[in-house]
């Protein structure tokens, strides 16, 4: 059994998250974690909100709200959506609320400085004399030097997407007070990525051993890494801001310097591991996840986060050398980066009204159907999208008609014909091509999940249900039961026993995707359910589920996936179009 530390990108506590985020960095991680746990691995799943940075301070200031309450609001709202999706972290904290974060981030900075991997220099940045503060990044608006767009930001042009050197911005204006800023000297610190590349990162990526972690990474990550390594430059890691992790004491006498949010945020994975470990009674346990070379570090992210998780954070980890008690920190073992997930042909956008109302969605539809649909349409190799019609099809034609239908017809048949008990099997219908086909499909699911191929895993589950329905249809137990032949009667009993045995297996294989429905299914098979609800179990295609003891009492048939009718879907689409203000 292996040890896994799984992380999902820290969502920015600056607004709501939507299904697109969930499909990218959170739900696949939750499915992966549930599967690993059922397979007996030791897993820790860490996430929390990213709570520093200009985007937060600026918006809180514009709303006239203090940073703390502003962050709490979004932290809670984001957590609520994860809860609705049944995404279960071992810890969900935040970079400003985690008691270990500030010190850990400062130590990271200090270690890099001590190892000669951080340089400082004085440069000129825009400063508002009216407000008496520097205006980093989005605090500044002006004309884009590339395209002439007049509302470009200090860090990026929203029109042409160019990264902007703030000193090149035309007609710069302070966004907080409308004043014309002046250039003023200020000292900043830079992460020396070229040097870290020369001292280790380059070699790590040049390792062509087939077993080296990066050799298995997806093409979207691999391509990005190769392009970046060709032209690595220093990156600023400090800012003049009133909100952030202050520079460690003794580094400078100048006040108002904080760590740049991109630098402190990924350290949140470590500080929140410490917070989790403290809650387990021993904070030092964090080392077993970050310094144990046998622990596999897996980062689930969206594609916009690849450079930080594949290059910058590994550089920060490598640059720590053996500063943490003489031991190095682990580098990522896997980086499943997902593409974007859209809504009915366009990007999700809360501000332009193109989104799903999370609260009303879960009042009407089940988390399991949403989870399964998002995984079946997972943006794992290319951009993908949520459509209401697609969701209806998944729920009605796939989950209800294939999976739910098989369960209900078996349980109802047993209730009516076998006194709601498992009938005695003579094994006469064990050997069957449809069941063999189901075995093959069931046996492939785990491997697909491990490989981050969630679409294939979901499809395999449905294929197994197809095979099971075929088995039922081909043998037509409803005819056999009415036959005068004892042979036919025995056959009928054998078929139903097999179906119940496979329902037990089905409940476990569907569990990472649809945990609630899986538990319902186990209730439906009552005493016939094995004791192994949380155990993935034998995965070889050549082994069929064990014989279920005759006479075991079954539960009650229950609709797991209520159908969604056409009118309801039409109303949802109408509502979406009506809320669109773009």
Between 168 and 535, whose beta carbon lies closer to Zn ion? 168
Between 144 and 438, whose beta carbon lies closer to Zn ion? 144
- Site track 73-92 with Zn ion (rule: CB under 5 A), x = hit: --------------------
| Minimal distance, residue 33 CB to Zn ion, in Å | 41
User: H or E segment at 303?
Assistant: none
Q: Any residues with CB less than 8 A from the CB of 440 and at least 6 apart, and which?
A: 541
Q: Any residues with CB less than 8 A from the CB of 31 and at least 6 apart, and which?
A: 371, 375, 449, 454, 457, 512, 513
Between 175 and 196, whose beta carbon lies closer to Zn ion? 175
97 touching Zn ion, by CB under 5 A: no
Contacts (CB under 5 A) with Zn ion, residues 111-170: 144, 146-147, 149, 157, 159-160
| Minimal distance, residue 156 CB to Zn ion, in Å | 9
Between 147 and 570, whose beta carbon lies closer to Zn ion? 147
Between 159 and 387, whose beta carbon lies closer to Zn ion? 159
**Angle made by CA atoms 298, 332, 316, in degrees to the nearest 5:** 130
Contacts (CB under 5 A) with Zn ion, residues 366-395: none
Between 146 and 288, whose beta carbon lies closer to Zn ion? 146
Between 160 and 577, whose beta carbon lies closer to Zn ion? 160
- Site track 439-458 with Zn ion (rule: CB under 5 A), x = hit: --------------------
Contact 22/302 with Cβ under 8 angstroms?
no
Contact 140/132 with Cβ under 8 angstroms?
no
| Minimal distance, residue 152 CB to Zn ion, in Å | 6
Q: Any residues with CB less than 8 A from the CB of 161 and at least 6 apart, and which?
A: none
CA-based end-to-end distance of the chain: 51
| Minimal distance, residue 147 CB to Zn ion, in Å | 3
Between 158 and 433, whose beta carbon lies closer to Zn ion? 158
| Minimal distance, residue 157 CB to Zn ion, in Å | 3
Task: Write the DSSP string, 123-179.
Answer: EEEEEETTTTEE--GGGEEEE-TTT--TTEESSB-TTT--B--GGG-EEEEETTT--
Size of the site for Zn ion (CB under 5 A): 7
CA distances 273 to 42, 165, 290, 293, 432, Å, are 14, 36, 9, 16, 49
Phi-psi region of 439 (alpha: psi -120 to 50; beta: other; left: phi over 0): alpha
Class of residue 433 by CB neighbours under 10 A (exposed 0-12, middle 13-18, buried 19+): exposed
| Minimal distance, residue 84 CB to Zn ion, in Å | 38
* Tally of CA atoms within 13 A in the half-sphere of 46 that contains its CB: 27
Spatial separation of the C-alpha atoms in residues 191 and 315, rounded to whole Å: 9
For Zn ion, the binding residues (CB under 5 A) are 144, 146-147, 149, 157, 159-160
């Amino acid at each position: 059994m292996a040890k896994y530390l799984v992380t999902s990108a820290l969502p920015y506590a600056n607004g709501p998250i939507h299904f697109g985020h969930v499909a990218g960095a959170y739900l696949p991680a939750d499915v992966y974690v549930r599967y690993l746990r059922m397979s007996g691995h030791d897993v820790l799943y860490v996430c929390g909100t990213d709570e520093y940075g200009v985007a937060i301070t600026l918006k809180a200031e514009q709303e006239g709200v203090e940073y703390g309450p502003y962050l709490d609001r979004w932290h809670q709202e984001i957590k609520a959506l994860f809860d609705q999706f049944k995404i279960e972290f071992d810890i969900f904290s935040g970079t400003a609320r985690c008691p270990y974060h500030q010190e850990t981030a400062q130590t990271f900075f200090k270690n890099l400085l001590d190892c000669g991997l951080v340089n400082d220099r004085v440069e000129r940045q825009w400063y508002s004399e009216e407000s008496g503060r520097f205006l980093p990044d989005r605090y500044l608006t002006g004309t884009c030097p590339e395209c002439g767009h007049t509302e470009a930001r200090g860090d990026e042009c929203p029109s042409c997407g160019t990264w902007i050197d703030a000193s090149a911005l035309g007609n710069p204006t302070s966004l907080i007070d409308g004043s014309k800023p002046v250039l003023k000297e200020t000292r900043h610190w830079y992460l020396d990525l070229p040097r870290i590349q020369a001292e280790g990162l380059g070699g790590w990526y040049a390792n062509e051993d087939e077993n080296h972690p990066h050799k298995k990474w997806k093409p979207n990550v691999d391509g990005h890494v190769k392009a970046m390594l060709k032209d690595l430059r220093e990156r600023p890691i400090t800012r003049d801001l009133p909100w952030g992790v202050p520079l460690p004491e003794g580094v400078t006498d100048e006040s108002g310097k904080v760590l740049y949010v991109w630098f402190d945020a990924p350290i949140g994975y470590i500080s929140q591991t410490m917070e989790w470990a403290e809650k387990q009674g021993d904070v030092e346990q964090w080392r077993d996840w970050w310094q144990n070379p046998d622990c596999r570090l897996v980062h689930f992210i969206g594609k916009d986060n690849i450079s930080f998780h594949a290059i910058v954070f590994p550089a920060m980890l490598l640059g720590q050398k053996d500063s943490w008690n003489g031991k190095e920190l682990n580098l990522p073992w896997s980086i499943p980066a997902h593409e974007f997930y859209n809504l009915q042909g366009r990007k999700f956008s809360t501000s332009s009204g193109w989104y799903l109302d999370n609260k009303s969605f879960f009042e009407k539809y089940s988390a399991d159907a949403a989870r399964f649909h998002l995984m079946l349409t997972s943006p794992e190799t290319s951009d993908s999208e949520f459509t209401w019609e697609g969701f209806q099809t998944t729920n009605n034609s796939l989950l209800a008609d294939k999976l739910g239908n098989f369960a209900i017809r078996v349980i109802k048949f047993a209730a009516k014909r076998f006194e709601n008990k498992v009938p005695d099997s003579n094994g006469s219908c064990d050997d069957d091509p449809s069941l063999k086909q189901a075995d093959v499909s069931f046996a492939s699911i785990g491997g697909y999940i491990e490989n981050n191929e969630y679409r294939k895993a979901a499809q395999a589950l449905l294929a197994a249900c197809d095979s099971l329905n075929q088995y039922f249809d081909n043998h037509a137990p409803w005819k056999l039961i009415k036959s005068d032949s004892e042979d036919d009667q025995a056959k009928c009993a054998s078929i139903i026993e097999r179906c119940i045995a496979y329902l037990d297996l089905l409940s476990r294989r569907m569990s990472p995707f649809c945990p609630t429905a899986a538990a319902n299914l186990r209730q439906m098979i009552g005493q016939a359910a094995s004791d192994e609800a949380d155990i993935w179990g034998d995965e070889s295609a050549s082994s069929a589920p064990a014989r279920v003891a005759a006479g075991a009492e079954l539960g009650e048939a229950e609709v797991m996936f209520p159908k969604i009718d056409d009118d309801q879907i039409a109303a949802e689409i109408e509502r979406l179009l009506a809320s669109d203000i773009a």
